[in-house]
Structure 1
Amino acid sequence: MWETCLAQIALLEWGKKIEKSISRAPLLKRKVLQMDNRIVSLRSGEGGNLLVDQDTSSRPSNLRKRQKHHKAKMASDIVPSPTDSIIKITPPSHSSEGDIKESYFSIIYEVTLPLLLSGFAMVGAGIYLHSLQDWPVFKEVEEIIILIPALLGLKGNLEMTLGSRLSTEANLGNFANLHGQWNFIMGNLALVQCQAIVIGLLSAVVTVGCVFITNQEASLNNSILLIACSMTTASIASFILGCITVAIVIFSARLKINPDNVTTPIAASLGDITALVLLSYVAQAYHAAIMNGLLWMPIVAIGTFLLTTPLWVYITMSNKCTYAVLKHGWVPIISAMLISTFGGLVLEHSMSQYEDLSAFQPVINGIGGNLVSIQASKLSTTLHKAYTLGQLPDEIPIIISPIKAFFSSAQHALTCRALLSFVIPGHLIFAAVIIWFREGSIEVSSLFYPAYLIAAGIQTLKSCKIVL
């Protein structure tokens, strides 16, 4: 008799734990529903006769009959189980705004510090880029300047998209399982390595092609130098930033901070300066080796990265979390790389006429990119939470008007307004810091600030609209 009482108590406690802890587990719904029926049976008193040994109703055969009858009754009822509010067989059909509504001030509170850190890091990157013009390797091989926007763009094309994927997984609760967490992380790090090597190679090849098209002098040694610099910088920078991005997502999730608000700005804060420092020293080392007759060193580096690429491809394809990205994710990053490379041509031409412009390049590009990346990451998380991939309800418009994008009561419009409030103050602060830090070497006219702020505002507004 006492064993039976203990069994009832254990059954009740087990049911309570299941109701509280289970989340998004469609495969367990049937088992939980059966357990829920047993719990209801015990609570309603139908299992009370188990305490009476003399009662025939306590026999196992009669108990099973009663349980079957009770299950049939429950199945015919319309009253939902308490666990129905927890377990979802399909994504909910409610509004795309997601489960948690963030206020204007909560967004401001969480993104201010990361954006300030990333902004000052980009100021440092701009000042460092301005000083690189005096390095011998950048004077003798001016084509390296064309590579800079493409390599700086890797932080947005690879690391910030990595941060967005990781943030979405963390917000969906998929990092609760340690094995699943590390499986997702390792697959994504291998994916980023594969993408970095390929994009590094393609950006260097496109740069060499642009040099020939513009009738500039291009030697075989310089072409090898460009390819080796691009692949080495892309691979090492992506590995370092990928590890940092993973750490940021894990710690922010543990601190109950929305990873969407902090991951991409912090990853960007280190992205520009990391890529620039690596590019400068790698280019200097390879250039010195070539000048000393050691042309084989950059060639061996290129061969090493090419030989390791199949390994990263195999790891990525073996991981179900990253297989689809490897298969379908090339068009966006290659398109972004081409745009960045042609932007490098513009930068090279502009720097020959306006040397001071290089100090502002990482800032004006980086601030807008950081703000838009936060919005893109939050939208991605919302869509993954609310809808099935490839299925968007008819009431959700594909194209949103500018008025709705920025002034509606929707969550994405609120996020846009919160992020746009950083544009003018942020650029004023960072531009002033650059001019103050490089006092005497950077001169700007009275029209610089208005033109600079107008360009920055248009860039961010247009980018936010494109993302939406």
Structure 2
Amino acid sequence: DHHLLEYDQFDINHLNKRKESLCTLAIQIVFPFLMAGMGMVAAGVVLDKVQHWNVFENVPEIFILVPALLGLKGNLEMTLASRVSTYANKGLMDDRRKMLSIVWGNMVLVEAQAMVVAFLASLVAIVFGWIPDGKWEMNHAIILCAGSLLTGAIASCLLGLIMIGVIIGSRKLGINPDNVATPIAASLGDLITLTLLSTIVKGLFNVLNNPETAWIGPAIVIFFILITPVLLWLAHRNEYTREVVKYGWEPVIMAMVISSTGGFILDFALLKNPGVAVFAPVMNGVGGNLVAVQASRISTHLHSSGVPMGILPASEEPGCVTPCYTFFGKNNPHSGSAKVMWLMVIPGQLIFLFTIEQLQAGHTSITPQFIAVYLMVSLIQVAILLHVCQWLVVRLWRKEDDPDNCAIPYLTALGDLLGTGLLAAGFLFLWFVGDRDADVGD
């Protein structure tokens, strides 16, 4: 086909101009990756402390909310970063009028999405909290709904503005925003969101226990329910976000359900072993961070290839691929970056474990056995995520679903589920082999 030959030739010429060495990739990503990890360590320390607060002990369903709300950075902010990075790499952000329209539309969209996802996440937390013992408490439901909505609104606004600023700055400095924007979202997302959530639910717990101020909780929920349709209408009017408003809900909502399942596992794991708390945000965040960068890079590669959505460039392999192709395929243009991402797990996690030990955080001693098991489950998690990413982004493109809007929510939610499950399994394995210093059942 004459047109396909033209697309293939455009793809080859374009990629030759934009070819990025693995050394350049590693240099550009290592600092944001380490900064992201430190943010996750800080989030883990916060979770380790707040799990003993009165509100968390009285309303344990909040733990189910944690992965879903921390996952907003993957559902929304990282997706925003991937989407706007693609606009930047295509030159649309160089025009001031277009840039302002892109910024306005995406900020309104992210706020609207945050409201919907936060509300649904609170409903899932209420149901998951009700299932084990069949008890329903209205105050707990209000704390979950109002706390989730307030946290989602404030965190998404702050992180969205930071993301856009980073992308604009990266473009001006000649740095590929795909390599730095999503890690920076990860570095700030967990810490900001978890700090906001714990502070807000603590305040709501005190407010709802006072008859004179008990109306504040329901009022917050009603306010956000009323304002969400207005935000969706404004996002629909913007040419750069109209399609996302119409068709971008399935991955975001499905990702929220997957993350909430991870939250249910986290809630159960913390009952058995409080030591999980300090490591969960780090484990989940590192995996989600690395796979988000890879997804953003593959998506930008496809968008920049010159072929229309639904048609694969000559450089991409259709259908299912093997792990060998993902990491070592000679014809795979993304295998080099996949290896870089995977190899960064060991030094990165060792640095984060050393930091946690120096802070004397958590309930678990970082023994050689613990380090070996922790690194093993982290490598398994990231390897699975990178392999799924290779297949998923290409599949979404072939289905004419924009990977910038759809891929990262699924991948980061899967990272939460895998990370929490593998971490809990790792602690259980250590307990069985005799490493029992983690105060199990405390």
- Name the CA distance, whole Å, in 2 between partners of 1:394 and 1:379: 14
After the TM superposition, which of the residue ranges 257-266 and 90-99 deviates more from structure 2?
A: 90-99
1:258 maps to: 176
Unaligned runs of 5+ in 2: 1-5, 391-442
Question: Is residue 267 from structure 1 mapped to residue 185 from structure 2 by the alignment?
Answer: yes
Partners of 2:66 and 2:136 lie apart in 1 by 18
State the shift of 1:446 in Å: 4.3
Question: Corresponding residue for 1:404?
Answer: 325
Amino acid at match of 1:247: G
> What amino acid is the match of 1:201?
F
Match of 1:221 among 139, 159, 165: 139
How many residues in Structure 1 have an aligned counterpart in Structure 2?
381
What is the CA–CA distance in structure 2 between the aligned matches of 1:235 and 1:446, rounded to whole Å? 42
Q: CA deviation at 1:394?
A: 7.2
User: Alpha-carbon deviation of 1:97?
Assistant: 4.8
Match of 1:141 among 40, 44, 59: 59
- Matched with 1:305 is 224
Please list the CA deviations of residues 175-230 of structure 1 after superposition, one character each: whole Å capped at 9, or x if unmatched. Answer: 11100011011111111111100000000001111122222533011111101011
One-letter amino acid of the counterpart of residue 329, structure 2: S
* Structure 2 equivalent of residue 352 of structure 1: 271
Q: Hey, what does 1:109 align to over in structure 2?
A: 27
The normalised TM-score by structure 2 is 0.83
Residue pair 2:50, 2:198 contacting (<8 A) in 1 also = yes
* 1:295 Cα deviation from its structure 2 partner: 2.0
Query: Contact 1:121/1:270 (CA < 8 Å) preserved in 2?
Result: yes
* Structure 2 residue 368 is the aligned partner of structure 1 residue 449: no
Aligned with 1:376 (options 285, 295, 310): 295
* Per-residue CA distance 1:136-174 (angstroms, 9 max, x = gap): 111111111111010100011110000001111101111
Change (3 A) 1:95 1:414: farther
> What is aligned with 1:157?
75
CA contact (8 A) 1:96 1:382 kept: no
- 2:323 and 2:141 mapped to 1: Cα distance? 45
1:179 and 1:114 mapped to 2: Cα distance?
29
- Deviation per residue, 1:389-413 (Å, 9 max, x gap): 2222577323222212111344311
1:245 aligned partner: 163
Larger radius of gyration: 1
Residue 367 of structure 1 pairs with residue 289 of structure 2: no
Q: Which residue of structure 1 lines up, in the alignment, with residue 45 of structure 2?
A: 127
Aligned-partner Cα distance in 2 for 1:336–1:116? 25
Matched, 1:340 2:259: yes
Letter in 2 for 1:183: S
Q: Do the aligned partners of 2:48 and 2:361 also contact (CA within 8 Å) in 1?
A: no
Q: Percent identity?
A: 38
Give the match for residue 326 of structure 1.
245
Aligned with 2:310 (options 390, 395, 403): 390
Q: Secondary structure at the match of 2:275?
A: helix
Q: Do structure 1's residue 204 and structure 2's residue 125 form an aligned pair?
A: no
Q: 1:467 aligns with which of 385, 389, 392?
A: 389
CA contact (8 A) 1:97 1:411 kept: no
Amino acid aligned to 1:92? F
The answer to whether structure 1 residue 190 and structure 2 residue 86 are counterparts is no
Counterpart of 1:41 in structure 2 is none
Query: 2-side partners of 1:247 and 1:393: how far apart?
Result: 31
Q: Distance in 2 between matches of 1:208 and 1:440?
A: 28
Match of 1:292, SS state, is: coil
SS at match of 1:391: coil
1:4-42: CA deviation from partner (whole Å, max 9, x where unpaired): xxxxxxxxxxxxxxxxxxxxxxxxxxxxxxxxxxxxxxx
* Structure 1 residues 135 and 439, CA gap change in structure 2 (3 angstroms): closer
Q: Contact between 1:187 and 1:321, CA under 8 Å: does it hold in 2?
A: yes
- Aligned position for 1:70: none
Counterpart residue identity of residue 421, structure 1: L
- What does residue range 409-424 of structure 1 map to in structure 2 within 5 Å? 409=330, 410-424=332-346
RMSD between superposed Cα atoms in Å = 1.9
Judging changes above 3 Å, is the alpha-carbon distance between structure 1 residues 400 and 276 closer, same or farther for their aligned structure 2 residues? same
CA distance in 2, matches of 1:440, 1:431: 11
Equivalent residue letter for 2:343: S
Q: Which moved further from structure 2: 428-437 or 220-229?
A: 428-437
- The secondary structure found in structure 2 opposite 1:175 is helix
Cα offset, 1:378, TM superposition: 0.7
* Deviation string, structure 1 residues 249-278 (Cα, Å, up to 9, x no partner): 000100000000000001110000000110
Q: Is the 8 A contact 1:155 1:268 kept in 2?
A: yes
Q: 2: CA distance between counterparts of 1:439 and 1:226?
A: 27
Shift of 1:235: 1.0
Cα offsets for 1:84-141 (capped at 9, x unmatched): xxxx999935489574111111001100110010011110110111000221111111
- Normalised by the length of structure 1, the TM-score is 0.78
Alpha-carbon contact 2:112-2:231 (below 8 Å) kept: yes
Distance 1:280 1:210 in 2: 19
| Greater length-normalized contact order (CA 8 Å, ≥ 6 residues apart) | 2
